[in-house]
Amino acid sequence: MKLLAGNSNRMLATAIGDHLDVPLTKAQVRRFADNEVFVVIEENVRGEDVFVIQSTSYPANDNLMELLICCDALQRASAKRITAVMPYFGYARQDRKTGGRTPISAKLVANLVTRAGADRVLTLDLHAGQIQGFFDIPTDNLLAIPVMAQDIRSHHRSDKLMIVSPDVGGVVRARALADRLTADLAIVDKRRSAPGKSEVMNIIGDVAGRRCILFDDIVDSAGTLCNAAKALADQGAESVCAYVSHGVLSGAACERISQSVLDELVVTDTIEPSELVSACAKVRHVTVAPLIGEAIRRIANEESVSKLFD
């Protein structure tokens, strides 16, 4: 196999290569003076099984174009199979029409990746499972739950532990983690007045005296997460931590987290942290490189990926 990395998350790509003991393919992924993306693959990839590692995080459009152009370059270089490895799938929150005359951008991105030449997609914790159906090529959606569960066992006692879903839509995800940890489940009932703004209405479950762990797939502005943490603390929670798969952490998110009642926010390294995020004392990262690396190895060897989560 060969691993090709874009510029969105070189740290994760290097870690995946180290796990597989496969060096990253030599390539130039750079910009012209007018910011056009230009890609040159400096190794022979004819007949190779190539995995392009590229999260479509901020700047989402630039990173998406890098992925598309890398796939096109590989296709024109006669690669046998191209797998788009997207640890973080941007535009995933636009997975349905939310009103009149609005797009389904996740489907558009799926079409673009397919048309660019990708033969299959590997991603992690899609915002909505149905996005897999947007692709007309094989799509593997990995789960960060095993990584999160292992970290929780290492850093938290099992007694009085309660997993909390920050909204009703994330109940299935939170229940899966709670079952793996043999912990109780609570739900935050929230109302979203506008994109990025939410208000906690009620807590479903008795969290008094419990050590609560909020579990979600994406933290962006961190407003929902901080509001949920405050509501749990007001209801008598002994402590509140958060585990989130994708740390977008845009705008004033780090400031909100630092000033919140959260003891800690744990995110995976699917998105390379900015300097501001790295400097935030309450944010800690866990790596998913071994998980993604093992999935890549299994795909290359035509083995089962689902066995990773049995």
Three-class SS of residue 128?
Answer: coil
Provide the β-strand partners of residue 239.
211
Provide the β-strand partners of residue 124.
142
Q: Give the global pTM.
A: 0.94
Structural domains of the chain ordered from first start: 2-142+290-309 (3.40.50.2020), 145-287 (3.40.50.2020)
- Whether 190 sits among the annotated catalytic residues: the reply is yes
- Helices 60-76 and 105-116, packing angle to 10 deg: 30
Nearest Cα residue to 7 out of 64, 76, 54, 73: 54
Instruction: Give the pLDDT confidence score for residue 168 in this predicted structure.
Output: 86
Q: Which residues of 91-111 are buried (b: 16+ CB within 10 A; e: fewer)?
A: bbbbbeeeeeeeebebbebbe
Give the model's confidence band at 195: pLDDT under 50 very low, under 70 low, under 90 confident, else very high: low
Q: What is the pLDDT of residues 228-265, one digit of tens each?
A: 999 999 999 999 999 999 999 999 999 999 999 999 99
Rounded average pLDDT over 14-27: 98
The one catalytic residue among 107, 190, 230, 307: 190
Residue 196 clears pLDDT 60, i.e. is over it: no
